């Protein structure tokens, strides 16, 4: 019998649902060294809490997340709360000896992120950060192909994360409050594509060469319908960067791009070929082998659903019976449980130290925008 792992989750909104679903279905699809038990859910909205717990199968519900730190039965704490709570909650759980899986970005500020990285270094428990897009099979395959040298040396990365929900009518939820979110589209969306670029290239950013950050919408309707509230985060951030091994990159994040609802895209151009991914067509990886005979050389559309050939595919459905957004989270839950059970994850998992490197790049871009100058990563510690 595989050992069990008692999981507690903090948060019951969008990420609370995505993570609950992942913990609930992971053991049905993957052979795991450790079986998850949906032990406790903690959240603030007490009216919705018990129905939420019943719906997703959490055994216990509490309005006080601190009880989780005190509960010796809990092994792994999953944090799906707004960014300003990540540090306080992670630290309490690490001090209590638990494993921690925290939502991205690691924190709303570099200072919080640093404290989290340092606490993780000393802790007994393992840490993980939910950069879920690494676990789309197409992205995981891209990682394997780059590692196998299929596109040669990476020269150029183009990453864009465009959404459309952040226009003037969008309610002033926490994502638009600087003191809670830290930043806007930048920490929400650039965090993902910076992580993907680091993951896929296997390289680190050496310098942010220039950046623009813009807040277009300064007030938004309050969610309770009572008047307007201040919106003080960026709506769009663009920046250019250079990697240590010499590749150059552009990053673009906005929540104001009409018609691009969740267009998380990355393209890598190497000296032997290129790769291109678009989340809105998430089962597909586009690849071109530039060493082929030019008569037949062209983009290849790889449907990443073939068991035995493509990462995570054996857990799911027959060829081309495609998967969706929630499967990235379930694939990540499987890899977290493998790591806890001392088995190898399918592709590398980001821990707090890794996510801290993404946070440094985000910080360098904000500094670059503010100072209107290039920022070397060595200046951002």
* Minimum CB distance to ligand SOE smaller for 67 or for 326: 326
Given CA atoms 81, 87, 91, 92 in this order, what sign does their dihedral have? negative
CB of residue 187 to ligand SOE, shortest distance in Å: 9
CB of residue 102 to ligand SOE, shortest distance in Å: 13
| Nearest alpha-carbon partner for 282 in 299, 297, 258, 266 | 266
Chain position whose Cβ is nearest to ligand SOE:
188
Asked if residues 268 and 203 have their Cβ atoms less than 8 Å apart, the reply is no
Binding-site string for ligand SOE from residue 331 to residue 350, where x marks contact by CB under 6 A and - marks none: --------------------
- Which residues within the stretch 147-176 sit at the binding site for ligand SOE (CB under 6 A)? 163
- Which residues within the stretch 4-23 sit at the binding site for ligand SOE (CB under 6 A)? 14
Residue 300, phi then psi, degrees to nearest 5: -110, 130
* Minimum CB distance to ligand SOE smaller for 262 or for 286: 262
* Minimum CB distance to ligand SOE smaller for 163 or for 276: 163
CB of residue 162 to ligand SOE, shortest distance in Å: 11
* Minimum CB distance to ligand SOE smaller for 12 or for 163: 163
* Minimum CB distance to ligand SOE smaller for 299 or for 325: 325
* Minimum CB distance to ligand SOE smaller for 188 or for 234: 188
The tokens describing 219, both together, are 């007030």
* Minimum CB distance to ligand SOE smaller for 14 or for 317: 14
As a whole number of angstroms, the distance between CA 273 and CA 200 comes to 14
Residues contacting ligand SOE: total by CB under 6 A? 4
CB of residue 132 to ligand SOE, shortest distance in Å: 7
CB of residue 193 to ligand SOE, shortest distance in Å: 11
Residue with tokens 């449907």: 303
Give the Cβ contact number of residue 259 at 10 Å.
7
Asked if residues 263 and 133 have their Cβ atoms less than 8 Å apart, the reply is no
As a whole number of angstroms, the distance between CA 57 and CA 320 comes to 30
CB of residue 262 to ligand SOE, shortest distance in Å: 6
As a whole number of angstroms, the distance between CA 314 and CA 256 comes to 37
Binding-site string for ligand SOE from residue 233 to residue 262, where x marks contact by CB under 6 A and - marks none: -----------------------------x
Cα 284 from chain centroid? 19
The tokens describing 349, both together, are 């998992």
CB of residue 190 to ligand SOE, shortest distance in Å: 11
Q: What is the signed CA dihedral for 262, 263, 266, 267, rounded to 10 degrees? A: 160
As a whole number of angstroms, the distance between CA 160 and CA 253 comes to 6
Binding-site string for ligand SOE from residue 107 to residue 146, where x marks contact by CB under 6 A and - marks none: ----------------------------------------
- Bridge pairing between strands 127-130 and 273-278: unpaired
The tokens describing 195, both together, are 């992580």
The tokens describing 180, both together, are 């809670």
Identify the residue among 188, 207, 235, 252 touching ligand SOE (CB under 6 A): 188
330 makes contact with ligand SOE (CB under 6 A):
no
CB of residue 14 to ligand SOE, shortest distance in Å: 6
CB of residue 185 to ligand SOE, shortest distance in Å: 8
Residues 6 or more apart whose Cβ sits within 8 Å of residue 113: 87, 105, 106, 107, 355, 356, 359
CB of residue 170 to ligand SOE, shortest distance in Å: 10
| Nearest alpha-carbon partner for 20 in 74, 59, 69 | 59
Kind and range of the H or E run holding 292? none
Question: Which residues of this chain interact with ligand SOE, rule CB under 6 A?
Answer: 14, 163, 188, 262
């Amino acid at each position: 019998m595989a050992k069990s792992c008692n999981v507690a989750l903090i948060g019951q909104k969008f990420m609370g649902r995505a993570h609950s679903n992942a913990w609930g279905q992971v053991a049905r699809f993957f052979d795991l060294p450790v079986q998850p038990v949906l032990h406790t859910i903690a959240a603030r909205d007490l009216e919705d809490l018990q129905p939420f717990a019943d719906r997703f199968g959490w055994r216990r519900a509490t309005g006080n997340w601190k009880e989780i730190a005190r509960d010796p039965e809990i092994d792994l704490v999953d944090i799906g709360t707004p960014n300003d709570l990540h540090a306080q909650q992670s630290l309490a759980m690490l001090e209590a000896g638990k494993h921690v899986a925290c939502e991205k970005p690691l924190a709303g500020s570099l200072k919080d992120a640093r404290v989290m990285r340092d606490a993780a270094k000393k802790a007994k428990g393992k840490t993980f950060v939910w950069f879920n897009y690494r676990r789309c099979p197409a992205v995981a395959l891209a990682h394997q192909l780059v590692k196998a040298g299929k596109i040669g040396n990476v020269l150029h990365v183009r990453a864009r994360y465009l959404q459309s929900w952040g226009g003037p009518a969008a309610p002033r939820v926490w994502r638009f409050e600087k003191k809670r979110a830290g930043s806007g589209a930048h920490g929400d969306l650039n965090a993902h594509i910076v992580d993907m670029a680091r993951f896929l290239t296997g390289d680190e950013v050496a310098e942010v060469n220039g950046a623009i950050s813009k807040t277009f919408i300064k007030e938004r309707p309050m969610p309770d319908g009572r008047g307007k509230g201040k919106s003080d985060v960026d709506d769009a951030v663009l920046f250019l960067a250079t990697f240590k091994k010499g590749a150059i990159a552009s990053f673009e994040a906005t929540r104001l791009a009409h018609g691009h609802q969740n267009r998380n895209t990355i393209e890598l151009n190497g000296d032997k070929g290129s790769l291109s991914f678009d989340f809105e067509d998430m089962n597909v990886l586009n690849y071109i082998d530039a060493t082929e005979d030019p008569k037949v050389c062209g983009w290849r559309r790889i449907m990443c659903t073939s068991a035995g050939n493509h990462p995570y595919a054996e857990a799911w459905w027959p060829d081309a019976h495609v998967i969706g957004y929630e499967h990235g989270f379930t694939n990540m839950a499987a890899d977290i449980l493998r790591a806890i059970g001392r088995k190898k994850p399918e592709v590398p998992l980001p821990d707090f130290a890794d996510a801290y490197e993404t946070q440094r790049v985000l910080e360098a871009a904000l500094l670059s925008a503010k100072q209107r100058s290039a920022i070397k990563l060595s200046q951002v510690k």
